[in-house]
Amino acid sequence: MIKPVISIMTAVSVLFGTASFGVSAETNVCTVNFLDFDGNVYYSLTVPEGQQIDKQIISQIDTSKLRKQIGTRSQQWFSEWWGIPEYITGNTDIKPLSVTGTISLEKVPDKHKYYSKDSEIYKDGLIVDITLVTQTGLDTEGNYTTKSEIVDISSTCTLTPKTAGEAFKSGNKAVVNIFPINSDQPIGNYEIIYIDGIGDVNEDKIVTGSDATEVLNAYTMLSSNPSYKVDEAIMLYGDMNFDGILNGSDATMLLQYYTMLSSDPTYNLDKFFSDMNMKNAL
Ligand SMILES: [Ca+2]
Ligand SMILES: [Ca+2]
């Protein structure tokens, strides 16, 4: 009675053993290549056919070097691996998805003319964008699908020089460089000029009520006598609204500026023109 059982057990054991041997001999080992953005092998591992890739191994692949500078304005970096099969059935290439960021200077600041060396360099009007193109997958024809967004980084950019004092240290013209945050490469630059003496029609290097009075007097003379020859300095420094003619508005503005200056010694013409929203002073 016992013998047949042993015989069957032996047969099962042999059969099992043979079957087992057969599987290991015939199981293929597949190479799984993780590619870089250019299609070169970045990381490689082997997986027995029919097996899954250990997710932990995938998460431990150092992707920090999957970063590529494209020209001076763009960078491409890794976001995720695309299309990892659940079971590996043959040699497999796995492509990376990426995000490409391109920085662009859309507009330099509005203000190009400065009237005080105490001013900060104004940033108003500056537009610097980063366009982010994120790959979301591959379509059936093998093309990347993407989504885009534009991020305004203007507020984090810095201007050099920072002040009109630095800019006009050795002349009345200067170039301002625009730097994106954490970058030592400017994204662009623009020229600024310094215009001295506006408002100081009597050329004593200070704007006071006397300057406003002189402008008002000249305007009064001009009103009653159109052929009245306005003093050159009054015309040059007293046309406060830059419209090319001398009138009551100029005297009023000059008086307003003098009033502001009297109550706040740090006030200056650049602040004044900015407060007055004087576009033609830019
Ligand atoms: Ca003066
Ligand atoms: Ca005027």
Q: Please tell me whether the overall predicted TM-score, pTM, comes out greater than 0.85 for this model.
A: no
Q: How far is the CA of 220 from the centre of ligand 2 (A)?
A: 14
**120/266 Cα distance (integer angstroms):** 12
**230/243 Cα distance (integer angstroms):** 15
Q: How far is the CA of 221 from the centre of ligand 1 (A)?
A: 20
Ligand with smallest separation from the Cα of 208:
1
**36/152 Cα distance (integer angstroms):** 29
Q: How far is the CA of 233 from the centre of ligand 1 (A)?
A: 11
Torsion of the alpha carbons at 199, 201, 205 and 210, rounded to the nearest 10: -90
- DSSP reduced 3-state for 96: strand
**Neighbouring residues of the ion ligand 1, judged by CB less than 5 Å:** 200, 202, 204, 211
Q: How far is the CA of 214 from the centre of ligand 1 (A)?
A: 10
Structure tokens at 44: 């490689």
23-49 pLDDT, tens digit each:
455 678 999 999 999 999 999 999 999
Residue 15 predicted with pLDDT over 90: no
Q: How far is the CA of 251 from the centre of ligand 2 (A)?
A: 9
Residue ranges covered by each domain of the chain: 28-194, 209-281
pLDDT of residue 20: 40
Q: How far is the CA of 241 from the centre of ligand 2 (A)?
A: 5
Residue 13 predicted with pLDDT over 60: no
Ligand with smallest separation from the Cα of 211:
1
Structure tokens at 251: 């005297």
